[in-house]
Amino acid sequence: MTLMIDRESGEPLYAQIAADIRAQIESGARQPGSTLPTEKALQQVYGVSRSVVRQALDRLAQDRLISREQGRGTTVLPPQNYRRRAGQAGGLRQQIAALGRELSTRVIALDQLEAPPRQSEQLEPGQAWRLERVRSVDGEPLIHMITWIPQELAPALSIAELNGGSLHEWMRAHQLTPRGGPRQLHAVAASRETASHLGIPEASPVTLLEGVTRDQFGRTIEAFSAWHHPQVVFDLEAEVSQAPLPASAEGLLQELRSLISRP
């Protein structure tokens, strides 16, 4: 059986094959630990030369979707999770760097608009910047983010200044010091736009992180929504609350303290 690939599209054949196998892996049709067909079998499936198949497998190996080992064949790797601390405001670049990985940012759009009602309640009155970005780790898109910034506090923003860099670093360079603020995590289905930016099927489950960040004077300097790829795992530090002693036990302790304190 030969699967159809588009030889007229202009997209390299190896890229089409890699995309097809990637879709099989991400949909669960090929489970972690399972073995892919041999190169010869894939040649027959796609009707291409062995060199094209090897290029496709090399691409998948570079993306850490498969492992190719001599004598063991080609196996599907478990999904690679990317971790971030939910209780930390900002500092994502440092968190990623600590894992030996590289965070990059691409600005999709920067516009001056009236903020929607929900965001306008959180920001200074007036026009606001709508900043839309995609943040990637080692070239893999992981976060689709929309941030609203009061224009009064940041009158001069440009794509050239923000593309590839950190918004919070830009703010610090312009006398705005991010301190933190409330955050909420939601489980949502990816919209068509978010799915396109993250390279996942529409309606895939994603984690939405929403919140505001205030500066050293308590002013809200951003209100944001950040949709995270399913491979992103949020770490939380939890403490067990100490249950109060029952009244009888508390009374007993008071009596013991009284006895101990007597001369």
| Distance, CA of 35 to CA of 66 (rounded, Å) | 9
Mean pLDDT value across the chain: 84
* 70-84, 132-146, 209-223, 239-253: least confident range: 239-253
More confident residue, 52 or 78: 52
pLDDT of 197-236, one tens digit each? 998 888 989 999 999 999 999 999 999 999 999 888 887 7
160 CB-near residues (< 8 Å, 6+ apart): none
Find the mean pLDDT for residues 86-114: 76
Is residue 96 very low, low, confident or very high in pLDDT (cuts 50, 70, 90)?
A: low
pLDDT at 255: 65
Q: pLDDT at residue 165 above 70?
A: yes
pLDDT at 74: 93
* Sign of the four-CA dihedral 128, 197, 206, 138: negative
Show me where the domains of the chain are located.
13-76, 82-235
Could you tell me the pTM of the whole model? 0.65
20 CB-near residues (< 8 Å, 6+ apart): 3, 5
Contact 52, 14 (CB under 8 A): yes
CA atoms within 13 A on the CB side of 14: 13
Q: What CATH architecture applies to the domain 13-76?
A: Orthogonal Bundle (1.10)
Q: pLDDT at residue 34 above 70?
A: yes
C-alpha of 189 from chain center: 14
pLDDT of 129-140, one tens digit each? 999 999 998 888
Reported in sequence order, the residue ranges of 42-160 that DSSP labels E, i.e. its strands, are 66-69, 73-76, 82-85, 103-113, 128-137, 140-150
pLDDT at 221: 94
**Could you tell me which of 82, 78, 76, 14 has the C-alpha nearest to residue 48?**
14
Q: pLDDT at residue 258 above 70?
A: no
Domains 13-76 and 82-235 share a fold: no
Rg of the chain (C-alpha set):
26
Contact 209, 185 (CB under 8 A): yes
CATH topology of domain 82-235: Chorismate lyase (3.40.1410)
Q: pLDDT at residue 55 above 90?
A: yes
| Distance, CA of 91 to CA of 85 (rounded, Å) | 9
